[in-house]
Amino acid sequence: MGNRGRMALEAQGLRGLGLVHWNLSTAELYEHVLRRSEGRLSRQGALVVLTGQHTGRSANDKFIVCDDTTRDTVWWGEVNAPYESNRFEALFERMTAYLEGREVFVQDCFVGADPDYRMPVRVVTDYAWHSLFARNMFIKASAEEAENHVPQFTVINAPGFRADPALDETHSETFIIVNFARKLVIVGDTSYAGETKKSVFSVMNYLLPFRDVLPMHAAANIGGDGRTAIFFGLSGTGKTTLSADASRTLIGDDEHGWSDNGIFNFEGGCYAKVINLSAEQEPEIYATTRTFGTILENVVIDEDTRNIDLFDGSLTENTRGSYPMEQIPNASPEGRGGHPANIVFLTCDAFGVLPPVARLTKAQAMYHFINGYTAKVAGTEKGVTEPSPTFSPCYGGPFMPLHPRRYAELLGQKMERYGVNAWFVNTGWTGGPYGVGERMAINHTRAIVNAVLDGQLDEVATTTDPIFGLEIPVRCPGVPEEVLEPRNTWNDKGAYDIQARKLAQQFADNFVQYADDVSDEVRAAGPGID
């Protein structure tokens, strides 16, 4: 791209840049990564890169500019921290000065597979592998689209540039700042490429509800009967594993929108955790770690043989693989599906009191969507000696700029409009809490999910859980009936009652922050506490 492209960058505040590489191919970016010693080529063909001190998101370093555009719309708090416009301009000015004379890489692409709702984005960075990451993760523009590309949002990522916390009033030298008025995201002092992906998704999560589109941090797939399913779930709940069913077509594994046209993937690729990945357990994802075009973050590589070791977590347990969607054999090339027939809320209940499956009313679905519950188990973190609840609103709290009520209202409206069933599936413990009971058998969970998606539980009679109010099916193909009632799996029924009431109280305590902003129906859909 010639002067027109350079002029476009100047209009965005980028002046005096060195060599500008526009929309390079995967092979070309490989060459630049190796030329610049940004990464190493594995024996199997993937690029291996290190992200330094930041091996995951810097949640405390994220801000949204507070101005006339956002002041009355953003749900301000710890997650969505406000940042002053004048400080943004001063920081951005120093950042652009830092980039003067530097070699930069530009990728023009799209977010959102539905043409009616896709957003043209531009990613500018001085790291070649970050440009490849953008090319993998977002939807590539055709040659004609690239020629006429007008970005609605631009991400400028300069990992080597640091903020001055005293001057910029950031929390550290690292920053991720979204400016909706300027249609600009700036990122500095972090090589973790996921910041680019998640900041763009945060933008979509802010904009789409104003167009009656529900953005979702969720996986989606399609069965052979053409019925779409949505899977919500926090880390460790089995979202990726259960949605990656070889018998179903994968729409996407992370971020989707639900419009009046149906479901659409935000992404053009996947960003999977690869620690301890095996060919036996997850063959499709494992194969991508040995494929040209994949970026492996913080995966250990042998200096002599250039073989990778997916079981070595010495750099971080959060090792990642970034690869285009077309590397997954059963992935949808369109990235779209019809309106879902079923929504599945996955939780890993380490307290062992929630049923393995329950049918939800619309109000219950909205309640549990807002609460976004799972549990950490003892021993996974320092100081955690017993199961501890984790709540993330809408199952994606760090990336939701609006009040959770707004997303829940859209969920309820669409469930009603399109006649969608909602289910609660517990992949956690049964027969007692972590340390006493045992993990739900994976074959039982798969049988439950298959029965849900095939409609086999639609007409099955249910019993009502007296504490949580959940409708529990009395039978499910492939699952012993005694497993379906969690209280029946405990030897000590009194201990179950105590634990169940404890968790119900934690549900209620967490929901207090949302209670004044939801309908009476949703507020009453939570657990009943004596």
The catalytic site residues sit at: 57, 198, 217, 235, 239-240, 254, 320
Provide the token pair at 378.
Answer: 């003892």
418 close to 230: Cβ distance less than 8 angstroms: no
Cα–Cα distance measured from residue 470 to residue 354, given in angstroms and rounded to the nearest whole number: 9
* Burial state string for 278-312 with b = 16 or more CB within 10 A and e = fewer than 16: eeeebebbbbbbeeebbbbbbbbbeeeeeebebee
Cα–Cα distance measured from residue 336 to residue 251, given in angstroms and rounded to the nearest whole number: 6
Give one DSSP letter per residue of 192-209, joined into a string.
-THHHHHHHHHHHHHHGG
Cα–Cα distance measured from residue 417 to residue 421, given in angstroms and rounded to the nearest whole number: 12
Helices (H), 126-210: 128-137, 143-147, 165-168, 194-207
Query: Could you give the count of Cα atoms lying within 13 Å of 37 in the half-sphere of its Cβ?
Result: 0
Burial level of 191, CB count in 10 A (0-12/13-18/19+)?
A: buried
Cα–Cα distance measured from residue 440 to residue 446, given in angstroms and rounded to the nearest whole number: 10
Give the type of residue at 130: H
